[in-house]
Each structure stands twice: as C-alpha cells, then as structure tokens.
C-alpha cells in the first residue's frame, strides 16, 4: 500500500495487523481517488491514543486474542469520504466497528450511527473454549470497548434484528452505509439485506462480514441491484456500492 503511515501507526496501537486498510477496496466502494483515500487514512495517526484505549479495554476484559472486526480503518475512511447521514450496523460485541464509525462521524460533524446487537453473554470470568470469542464478559455490555467520549448520540439497540431492524428502517429516510456482522446464515443475511433495501440510494455502501457462512445471499443481492461484489483482499468481508439508476 502506498504511504498511509497514519493508518499503520494506528494498527500497531490497536494491536491487529489485519487492520492495515485495503486501499483498493476503499476506492472501489467509495469512488474516491487514491490521494483522497490516503489523506483520510493518515488522519488515523492522530487517533493512536484512542486505539490504545480500545486495546486496553479488550485486555481488561480478558481478550488479548480478541476476534475483532478486521477492517475498522476501512470503515473510518468510507465514512469520511462519503459523509453518510445514516449508518446501520448489525452486530456490535465489544464495538470495534462501532468505535471507528463513530470516530469518522465525529470528524465529519454530521451523521448518525444506529447499531443493533443481540449480545452473547460469557458464562464466567474466564472464557471457556466452547464459548464464542465475541461473548461479552461479566459486568460489561454491548460496545464495552467503545471509548466513552464517542458514545454521545450513538443509537444502540439490543435485541433481535428480526424485530428491531424493520422498525429502525421505517424511522429513517435513507441508509447510506449498512454493515452486516450479526447472525451469519444465508436466511438471516438475506432478511437484513431486504430490510434495508427500501432506504438504499445510489452511492449507498452495503457490507457483509463472514460471508463464507452465508452462501449465495450476498452475491444474489448484488446481482439484483446490478452491482459487482468487491472483496477485501482474500477475505470473506465483501461489499457493494449501489449504482446510479438507469
């Protein structure tokens, strides 16, 4: 990747080498030129203290190995470049993705993040081998690693997205970015994509993680809006950008 030293510095502070952003993925999903993408990624050099606080929150929760969202800085760049009015994410856990969406919204000075989470609770102080690494430690709640200074204005709703997502979509006039990172089954992903479809517009970005488990749900949605699926490197984190209407 060409010089994005700020993002690399932030990735070191966060403690996750996977977080080094994919410049090409960001460009294809935002339509922004390379120099603009690099400029916003280099803003992350000023967020090192925030990244360290997120890492320390994970350690305090017993998560030095935490299976966090792999592309937080890509999300930051997408929000900075597209200046969305309304963002929805499903699946929060500790809040790595949420924190970086909120960071970018704060820098923009406009826009809102709506998050839906059905928390999985850790059964004891120590995470057992048979428990999910996204289980929430005792005494903590959804978004427990999000710094307190970013929480103002954050619309965090707990419960099943089958109930909460359609109601949320009806409240909004548009959805500019949607991120699926909740229950990873073909049927559930299809449900969420269809739920947000009425509020998508040309230029909206739709993202889905862990698509190795969701079969053809995302490719089928992409075909239905006549948009190519864009994969982040060789991972199963994918996205589409809603095309202009013809």
Q: At residue 13, does pLDDT exceed 70?
A: yes
Q: What pLDDT digit, counting tens, does each position of 162-184 carry? A: 999 999 999 999 999 999 999 99
The pLDDT of residue 126 is: 85
Q: What pLDDT digit, counting tens, does each position of 37-65 carry? A: 999 999 999 999 999 999 999 999 988 76
Q: How far apart are CA 117 and CA 102, in angstroms?
A: 16
The pLDDT of residue 246 is: 52
Q: How far is CA 107 from the centre of its chain?
A: 17
Residue scoring higher pLDDT (17 or 145): 145
DSSP-assigned letter for residue 127: P
From 208, 233, 210, 212, select the one nearest 221 (Cα to Cα). 208
Q: Which CATH number fits domain 71-241: 3.40.640.10, 3.30.1360.30, 3.40.50.150, 2.150.10.10?
A: 3.40.50.150
**DSSP string for residues in 153-198:** T-EEEES-HHHHHHHHHHH-S--SEEEE-S--SHHHHHHHHHHHGG
- Sorted by where each begins, the domain ranges of the chain are 71-241
Model confidence, pTM? 0.96
């Amino acid at each position: 990747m060409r010089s994005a030293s700020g993002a690399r510095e932030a990735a070191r502070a966060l403690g996750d080498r996977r977080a080094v952003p994919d410049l090409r993925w960001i460009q294809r999903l935002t339509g922004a030129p390379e120099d603009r993408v690099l400029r916003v990624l280099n803003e992350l050099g000023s967020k090192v203290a925030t990244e360290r606080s997120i890492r320390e929150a994970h350690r305090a929760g017993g998560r030095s190995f935490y299976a966090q969202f792999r592309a937080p800085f890509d999300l930051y760049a997408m929000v900075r470049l597209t200046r969305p009015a309304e963002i929805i994410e499903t699946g929060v856990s500790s809040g790595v993705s949420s924190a970086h969406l909120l960071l970018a919204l704060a820098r923009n000075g406009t826009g809102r993040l709506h998050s839906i989470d059905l928390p999985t609770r850790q059964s004891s102080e120590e995470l057992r081998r048979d428990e999910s690494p996204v289980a929430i430690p005792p005494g903590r709640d959804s978004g427990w690693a999000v710094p307190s200074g970013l929480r103002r204005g954050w619309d965090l709703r707990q419960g099943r997205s089958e109930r909460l997502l359609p109601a949320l979509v009806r409240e909004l006039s548009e959805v500019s970015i949607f991120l699926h990172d909740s229950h990873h089954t073909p049927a559930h992903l299809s449900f969420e994509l269809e739920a947000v479809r009425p509020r998508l517009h040309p230029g909206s970005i739709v993202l889905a993680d862990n698509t190795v488990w969701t079969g053809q749900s995302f490719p089928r949605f992409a075909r239905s809006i006549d948009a190519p699926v864009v994969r982040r490197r060789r991972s199963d984190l994918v996205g589409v950008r809603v095309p202009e209407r013809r």
